[in-house]
Amino acid sequence: MSPLPPVDVLVPTYRRPAALAVTLAGLSAQTLPRFRVVVSDQTPDEDTTARGEVQAVVRLLRARGREVELHRHLPARGIAEHRDSLLARARAPYALFLDDDVLLEPDVLARLLRVLVAQRCGFAGAAMTGLSHLDDERLHEQEPLRVWDGPVVPERVRPGDVAWERWRLHNAATPWHLAARTGATDARPVLYRVAWVAGCVLYDVAKLRDVGGFGFWRDLPPHACGEDVTVQLRLLERYGGCGVLPSGAVHQQLETTLPDRSVDAPLHLDLDLPPELQAG
């Protein structure tokens, strides 16, 4: 079996040094042999990557042979622009966008990469799981589950569609319960249809750039959210995408750093690709 290709892990962060340290600690335990970590901080009044708890894990990553880049990206012009700037730094053929409040189990990165290489689709995501809800199994929210029983293929999903209700699959601890229900394991992952996946998504970089990446940030106010949903809807339509069970991505369940959600990008933008990006 040929070795897995390298991955860039792209982490945008804002005012969360302790959470960032936990997120990086999860990366330090990953079994994937080759990946680079790029952290971009938009905290205006402090370089949070210089905090002791963050530096301790950065030193561990580097001691284990991981390349780690730490950047400050100011002034802040919104999360879509922040992700766009991180994508511009990607050098590897695959990039994991990882939020700064997600703890990964050791096999997540390798599992997502094996799926994405095999399926040749636009993205594969590990839905964030809120383990405080472990005893709250929501069977009604499991109803939209549709497992891919063949190769992942493109599909069009838009707000208001029946398929849009798949967002419910990622509430609370539902990804954990779905993994148990389907018998998913690292050796036998289960791929399923999604509307989008938040927090931990591995992209084929060339395909993400082909649909314009996050370049639409210029058409959004800085407080807009839903930028990840927008790119994934475009990738679903052109290349396909999937969620992967088991997830292995644990949400730290902190208060959001994006409290103003009055502008939701997929409802604000034209989700169809502009003519210059449409396939010929």
- The pLDDT tens digits of the residues spanning 1-44 come to 568 999 999 999 999 999 999 999 999 999 999 999 999 999 99
State the average pLDDT over residues 105-111.
98
Could you give the 3-state DSSP secondary structure of residue 110?
helix
Q: How far apart are CA 257 and CA 244, in angstroms?
A: 26
Domain 7-269: CATH architecture, name and number where available:
Alpha-Beta Complex (3.90)
The values of phi and psi at residue 102, to 5°, are: -125, 125
Q: What is the pTM of this model?
A: 0.96
Is the pLDDT assigned to residue 145 strictly greater than 70? yes
Q: Please tell me the predicted confidence (pLDDT) of residue 261.
A: 83
Q: Which residues of 89-104 are buried (b: 16+ CB within 10 A; e: fewer)?
A: ebebbbbbbbbbbbbb
CB 198 within 8 Å of CB 170: yes
Reading the block at residue 238, the tokens are 């052109």
Percent of the residues in the chain that have a pLDDT greater than 70, as a whole number: 97
Reading the block at residue 215, the tokens are 């370049």
Give, for 277, the enclosing helix (H) or strand (E): none
Q: How far apart are CA 201 and CA 190, in angstroms?
A: 16
Q: How far apart are CA 200 and CA 242, in angstroms?
A: 12
Sign of the C-alpha dihedral computed for residues 115, 59, 250 and 31 taken in this order = positive
User: Which among 108, 91, 111, 77 has a CA at the least distance from the CA of 38?
Assistant: 91
Tens digit of pLDDT for each residue in 68-87? Answer: 999 999 999 999 999 999 99
State the average pLDDT over residues 44-54.
96
Is the pLDDT assigned to residue 280 strictly greater than 60? no
Tens digit of pLDDT for each residue in 220-247? Answer: 999 999 999 999 999 999 999 999 999 9
Q: Please tell me the predicted confidence (pLDDT) of residue 2.
A: 65
Average of per-residue pLDDT values in the chain: 95
Q: How far apart are CA 69 and CA 117, in angstroms?
A: 25
State the average pLDDT over residues 205-225.
96
